[in-house]
Structure 1
Amino acid sequence: MANILVVDDELGIRDLLSEILNDEGHSVDLAENATQARNARLDNVYDLVLLDIWMPDTDGVSLLKEWATSGMLNMPVIMMSGHATIDTAVEATRIGAFSFLEKPITMQKLLKAVEQGLARNNGNGVPAPAAGTQASSGAAQAARPAGGAPGLAVNGAAGAQATAVAPAPEVDQGPLAHQGFDLDRPLREARDGFEKAYFEFHLAREGGSMTRVAEKTGLERTHLYRKLRQLGVDLGRNKRS
């Protein structure tokens, strides 16, 4: 699909954006600061960049300006911030930022912004923002929360406490009651094993109702379906809408 660079100094944000974009079929590189982003940009060609504004070494607007003045701003750049001001939004737009995403970022807004940025990069009718033309809309988005919609959160299944998977007394979990986890393996594999057991438990408890499982786990249904397929969870057993 597309090569995307995610630049953010928060590990949880990098991991979550990478997971969502990988699920969409994109190839994702990660950078935790401007230095790593510069090196990645020199070594690779990207179709789109997600760039945090506030970083410890060089802020995202300054990095955006570097790329613009050196002729390296030839891909859409979507700025991200939880504390952006209108002045910051206007400045970044004037330099050449494609759009803004206000943190916490909803998955729907992330995927829509990425789709629009990639469409512009592919010449599919989405125009590049001229200086000042997108400032008002970008600044308005950057200066307010995302409409009260639930934001992206660090993987809830992986971060859940043990009590979150403790069986209710009236629920017969069958083999899940004896589920053990091999901790002597890479973190990603161990996390996937836990998440699979976590979702299988909720599917069993809710009788396969995807609506109730989505409510219990705090995931949108589209993200839930994608996660279950990724983990290899059998959706054929007791599946209800």
Structure 2
Amino acid sequence: MARILVLEDDADFADLVKLDLEQAGHKVDITDSGTSAFDLITETHYDLLIADIYIWKEGKVQPDGGLLLAGRLHRLRLTESSDPRGTMPIIVMTGAVNRPGQENILKVASSVGADAVLAKPFSSRDLHKTVHKLLTDHRPT
């Protein structure tokens, strides 16, 4: 199946996503920072990225979350079409959609290059449906 990178700061949630995707036959790696995710994507071919929009450490939002990472990869799509990192589909996820001032965060994520968005909590079915759609839509011809 597919090789998937998950960027998630909540280790328990990341493990649940990993277990769910591995049971579906995918190979899954986990990281908890956008910087390390970008490094991993540079070193290893991934078929899909699933990234939490906001990465928290020590009670503070970190500047290298999934939103910034999606933007960096989107810029590669626009400027370096031959770079395989720019062609990888991206799912962003967040639990912030119900927080004050965050109503449009999923639209913002789409505008910076996310191919799909998932609002936490999401079902296993929604995860699998979204993963399958993106992997099918982005299959090399």
Give TM-score scaled by structure 2 length.
0.81
- In the alignment, the residues of structure 2 paired with residue 69 and residue 99 of structure 1 have an alpha-carbon distance, to the nearest angstrom, of 17
Pairwise CA RMSD? 1.6
Which structure 1 segments of 5+ residues have no match? Answer: 125-241
Alpha-carbon deviation of 1:21? 0.7
- In the alignment, the residues of structure 2 paired with residue 45 and residue 91 of structure 1 have an alpha-carbon distance, to the nearest angstrom, of 26
- 1:80 is aligned with what amino acid? M
- In the alignment, the residues of structure 2 paired with residue 106 and residue 7 of structure 1 have an alpha-carbon distance, to the nearest angstrom, of 18
- Which stretch has the larger CA shift, 55-64 or 37-46? 55-64
- Judge conservation of contact 1:64–1:73 (CA < 8 Å) in 2: no
- 1:63 is aligned with what amino acid? L
Identical-pair percentage:
30
Map Cα deviations across residues 177-215 of structure 1 (whole Å, 9 max, x no partner): xxxxxxxxxxxxxxxxxxxxxxxxxxxxxxxxxxxxxxx
- Judge conservation of contact 2:109–2:117 (CA < 8 Å) in 1: no
Alpha-carbon deviation of 1:73? 2.5
Give TM-score scaled by structure 1 length.
0.49
1:62 matched to 2:30? The reply is no
Alpha-carbon deviation of 1:43? 0.7
- In the alignment, the residues of structure 2 paired with residue 81 and residue 114 of structure 1 have an alpha-carbon distance, to the nearest angstrom, of 16
Alpha-carbon deviation of 1:123? 5.7
1:89 matched to 2:106? The reply is yes
- In the alignment, the residues of structure 1 paired with residue 52 and residue 43 of structure 2 have an alpha-carbon distance, to the nearest angstrom, of 20
- Which stretch has the larger CA shift, 41-50 or 81-90? 81-90
For 2:88, the equivalent position in structure 1 comes to 75
Which structure 2 segments of 5+ residues have no match? Answer: 57-61, 78-84
Number of residue pairs matched by the alignment: 124
- In the alignment, the residues of structure 2 paired with residue 12 and residue 73 of structure 1 have an alpha-carbon distance, to the nearest angstrom, of 29
